[in-house]
A = this chain, B = another copy of it.
Amino acid sequence: MTAGEAVSALRETLGADVVALPDEFGDRRVVDWSGLPGEVPLAVIRPRNTEEVAQALAICTRYQQPMVTQGGLTGLVGGANARGGEVALSLDRMNRIVEIDEVSGTMTVEAGAVLQNVQEAASAAGFYFPLDLGARGSCTIGGNLATNAGGNRVIKYGMMRDQVLGLEAVLASGAVVGGLSKMIKNNSGYDLRHLLIGSEGTLAVITRVVLRLRPKPTATATAWCGLPDFKAVTTLLTRAQAGLAPGVSAFEVMWAGYHDAVLGNLPNLRAPLGSSHPFYVLLESVGTDPVRHNEAFEEFLGAMLEEGVVTDAAIASSEAHALAFWAIRDAPGEYQRFIPNHAAYDVSFSIAQVGDAAARCEARLRERWPQALILIYGHLGDGNIHIVVDVPGLGKHDHDDIDHVIYDVTRELNGSISAEHGIGVKKRHFLPQSRRETDIDAMRAIKSALDPLGLLNPGKIV
């Protein structure tokens, strides 16, 4: 059997409209945002429904043809790039919002639906879909599921995993598993849903999903705080979670180095405070009672200032003011402008160890590269920090030595090498830093059980 035969069989069964060859899909983008190399797939399959996905996979199994599923291609670890020899499966035609059930508070969507469309449809129906990340206009729900996406509101609403009630998927054999269940409680056998979420397309192709919608917050309070040390930062977090009843919806910490570098390099940003501090926190709380909520927020912040947990603070007086705070936190989208060759890391630790982890990384990087620019920031409520390192003279793909410094600290402190971006190809060789050898063996056994020929997204994760 040759790859050519597989592509012919796919095209014959599904039609030329569904199965496009390289000279037909032309300059369609086929690699993700990681900057890692990716090959042009032998064909791009664009099914219109679950049955066509099942047909395509059954044919791939018959011809032992490897396959990679591609969503919005906004991943950062090369997880959706072809290695060579694969056909690509795109769910861009399966992008419908199938149903909104307002009584049950659910939305059923096809996996190719774009995140932003889901957010907007939820909002139009009077609900809130909390998952949010920078790539919202391009990334798809299927990709969010494959990587168990996180983002800024995990502290209150959880990861993508926590937004899913039912999930339908197709195994390599073409068998359809799962379903469009709307149940919050469902203990009937192994939870395939949670196994598939975060498996980066290596176990199945997710086709449709029932999302859980949340009540729309009608009150938001946002503050920008300057703090004297990391202990004050964790104290503020603990106190905010215990004292702000409706719920902290974001707790973004920025080390001074990050704050100073982005404000120094991006002229459209303005410092919210007139003073300098070792740490800055963007604190956001949401509720449904604007008067009581905002009063309680101000009282809380007043107490924190009085106790010295916070040295200085500004409360956003308008939505525009809050957006100006967020622009500082969202500055990583502008890195290309001033540090195009930077290395970026997405790691997590216990909340108590984040300060120590950041200090160890910074000290070791500084020792080796005294001139390095080191930017540290992240979602402290989730234990997740991003570390960005720019070493003058080091090229874009010349980060191996920096990788080792960061992932050594991750291993020493029992952290994770991937908090929210996934493993893909980029971090595959570092997986033993975060997982036991016995875990990786178990993962391989599960992979073999569900995809015995190893056809789905080969070379990723395990």
Contacts and interface: CB of A to CB of B under 8 A. Distances in A.
Nearest to A231: B103
Contacts of A449: 442, 445-446, 448-449
Interface string A239-267: 00111111100000000000000000000
B350 A423 contact: no
A196 to B, nearest CB: 9
Interface stretch (A18-26, A272-280, A389-397, A433-441): A433-441
A383 interface: yes
A381 interface: yes
A8 to B, nearest CB: 28
A408 interface: no
A171 B442 CA distance: 9
Contact of A186 (B186, B191, B416): B416
A305 interface: no
A78 interface: no
A195 B198 contact: no
A185 B383 contact: yes
A363 interface: no
Interface stretch (A30-38, A43-51, A288-296): A288-296
A177 B420 contact: no
A446 B449 CA distance: 6
A406 to B, nearest CB: 14
A417 B185 CA distance: 10
B103 A192 contact: no
A288 B244 contact: yes
A382 interface: yes
A85 interface: no
Interface in A417-432: 417-423, 427, 431
Contact of A416 (B176, B177, B185, B427): B185
Given A182-B383, A247-B247, A351-B104, A188 B289 contact: no
Given A190-B198, A446-B450, A185 B103 contact: no
Nearest to A452: B445
Nearest to A290: B245
Interface stretch (A58-66, A147-155, A311-319): A147-155
Contacts of A178: 436, 439
A194 B440 CA distance: 16
A334 interface: no
B159 A185 contact: yes
A398 interface: no
B383 A187 contact: no
Given A195-B195, A234-B103, A238-B103, A183 B350 contact: yes
A184 interface: yes
16 contacts: A101-B350, A154-B185, A161-B191, A181-B416, A184-B382, A185-B416, A187-B419, A187-B420, A188-B418, A188-B423, A190-B203, A192-B442, A194-B194, A242-B288, A245-B288, A446-B449
The 5 lowest CB-CB distance pairs between A and B, nearest first, are A194-B194, A182-B350, A103-B352, A449-B449, A215-B242
Interface of A: 101-106, 147-148, 150, 154, 158-159, 161-162, 171, 175-192, 194-195, 197-199, 203, 215-216, 219, 234, 238, 241-247, 287-289, 292-293, 295-296, 348-353, 379, 381-384, 414-423, 427, 431, 434-436, 438-443, 445-450, 461-462
Given A154-B184, A189-B443, A215-B242, 14 more contacts: A102-B238, A161-B194, A162-B162, A178-B436, A181-B416, A183-B350, A184-B384, A185-B348, A189-B461, A192-B442, A195-B195, A243-B289, A245-B287, A445-B449
